[in-house]
Structure 1
Amino acid sequence: MTLSYIVSGFAVGLLVGMTGVGGGSLMTPLLTLLFGVSPSVAVGTDLAFASITKSAGTLTHRLRGTIRWDIVKRLCIGALPAAVVSTLALKSFGTVSPEIGQIIRYSIAGSVLLTVVALIFKGRMLNWINAHPEKQLQGNKLAAATIISGAVLGVLVTVSSIGAGAIGATLLVMLYPRMSSAEVAGTDIAYAVPLTAIAALGHWWLGSIHWELLISLLIGSLPGITLGSWVARSVPEKFLRVLLAMTLTTVAVKLIY
């Protein structure tokens, strides 16, 4: 089984490296559907996995100067308290009960579908915003919208481990259309580090992290991400995103039914 986890980590890392989509939208459903890991343990383990891998990504982006720290601060103001409150709610309701497990399963499915929407319509939404500059938020309204977006992402990530990748990046593009792609990626990864770390600590407190599984996934994912990043330019991005959207849609349907 350990070898299967390593191979799965490699496969997810490869896809993440090629597409830039957050690993949670792939890893959490994979653990739940393929390996029969309980939803709460799959979420907790993936959060710990994400906090470690995104820390390395943040360091790289910091060295390149592609992180908007002012936006990271706003997102964290909303996301971190939301993660704490969500963890306390999970503790109160009982993460290991069948009812809560089913709620988490549906939350995973919903987050996966949001990721699909973000993948498919991100370009169209950005084109619409650029065509209607009067609709773009400014000043205090923009700051408030960023904090609220962070809070929504904080709940999504804590409950399902999904949302900090494609959904977070799409929200950043919608709110800050003048940011470069590198800044969007760097800022998205940077705010996700404290968010996934706090959420992972919460799940550790809840007892829903499988440490042997976590180590096996990391062994596979690190070379997978490296290889995926190398070959990304040789594979058509549109083809990859369509394939990924179809895969994630199938996953969401299986999670619900």
Structure 2
Amino acid sequence: MTLTYIISGFAVGTLVGLTGVGGGSLMTPLLTLLFGVSPAVAVGTDLAFASITKATGTFTHRLRGTVEWDVVRLLCYGALPAALVATLGLKYFGGLNQEIGQIIRYSIAGSVLLTVVALLFKGKMLAWLNQHPEKQLQGRKLAAATIISGAVLGLLVTVSSIGAGAIGATLLVMLYPRMPAAHIAGTDIAYAVPLTAIAAIGHWWLGSINWELLGSLLLGSLPGITLGSMAAKAVPERILRGVLATTLTLVAAKLVL
């Protein structure tokens, strides 16, 4: 079983390094559906897994110059306070009931599919924006939208461990359509490090982290995300968009099914 965890960690880590997506969206369903881990422990363990894995990915993306730090800062302004509030809410009110959890999963799946559409039609979207520049947010409006997006991400990630990569990529594509795919991946990974770290500390406080499972996953994921992050800039933009779109479609299908 430990070898299976290591292989799973490597596969998810490689995808996260390449695309910025796949951590919670793939790992949490994998732990609950395939390995039979309880949902609360799966969420807590996955958040700890994501914070350490994505810290490694951020270092590699930084070396390759594929992180937009101004955007990372704005996202964190919204995400980090929201994560703290969500953790306190979980402590006070308890976990989410099944119905609300299902609504969150479907909402994320829908948003992920929107990302796929945006990626596949990025060229047409940019052409339309060039013809209608007034439709693209700029300046303070863009900064405010980024901070609000970060707050939504902070809430989602803390309660479900899903959304940091999938929803983050969606919002980056929508708000910053001219950002290259490798930079979307790097920026998406970088802002998620402090967010998932705060959420993971909250779940440690709640007692929902399996440390032995975490260790096995990290043995595979750390080399995986390093490899994926190094390849992200080398892979042609068109191929990387295809990999990202395929990964997101699988994530959405997994969330719905």
TM-score range, shorter chain: 0.7 to 0.9
- Map of 1:1-257 to 2, 5 A cutoff? 1-95=1-95, 100=97, 103-104=100-101, 106-124=103-121, 126-127=125-126, 128-226=128-226, 228=228, 233=235, 236-237=239-240, 240-241=243-244, 243-254=246-257
What is the TM-score of this pair, normalised by structure 2?
0.83
Structure 1 Cα separation of the partners of residues 222 and 79 of structure 2: 27
Q: Deviations over 1:27-81 (max 9, x none)?
A: 1111111112122211111111111111122223333444333222221111111
1:131 to 1:227, Cα distance in 2 relative to 1, 3 A: same
Following superposition, the deviation at residue 212 of structure 1 comes to 0.7
My pick for the range that moved more, 102-111 or 19-28, is: 102-111
1:47 to 1:105, Cα distance in 2 relative to 1, 3 A: farther
Q: What amino acid maps onto 1:118 in structure 2? A: T
SS of residue matched to 1:150: helix
Following superposition, the deviation at residue 12 of structure 1 comes to 1.9
1:19 to 1:66, Cα distance in 2 relative to 1, 3 A: closer
Alignment gaps of 5+ in structure 1? none
Structure 1 Cα separation of the partners of residues 60 and 249 of structure 2: 31
Q: What amino acid maps onto 2:254 in structure 1? A: V
Structure 1 Cα separation of the partners of residues 104 and 203 of structure 2: 16
Q: What amino acid maps onto 2:5 in structure 1? A: Y
What is the TM-score of this pair, normalised by structure 1?
0.83
Q: What amino acid maps onto 1:54 in structure 2? A: K
Q: Deviations over 1:70-120 (max 9, x none)?
A: 22222111111111111111111213xxx6366445534532442233133
- Two-structure CA RMSD over aligned residues (Å): 2.8
Q: Is the 8 A contact 2:21 2:248 kept in 1?
A: no
Task: Report percent identity of matched pairs.
Answer: 67
Q: Is the 8 A contact 1:38 1:101 kept in 2?
A: no
1:109 to 1:5, Cα distance in 2 relative to 1, 3 A: farther
Structure 2 Cα separation of the partners of residues 120 and 163 of structure 1: 17
Q: What amino acid maps onto 1:110 in structure 2? A: S
Structure 1 Cα separation of the partners of residues 121 and 252 of structure 2: 19
The count of residues paired between Structure 1 and Structure 2 equals: 251
Q: Is the 8 A contact 1:119 1:166 kept in 2?
A: no
1:227 to 1:78, Cα distance in 2 relative to 1, 3 A: closer
SS of residue matched to 1:162: coil
Q: Is the 8 A contact 2:56 2:226 kept in 1?
A: no
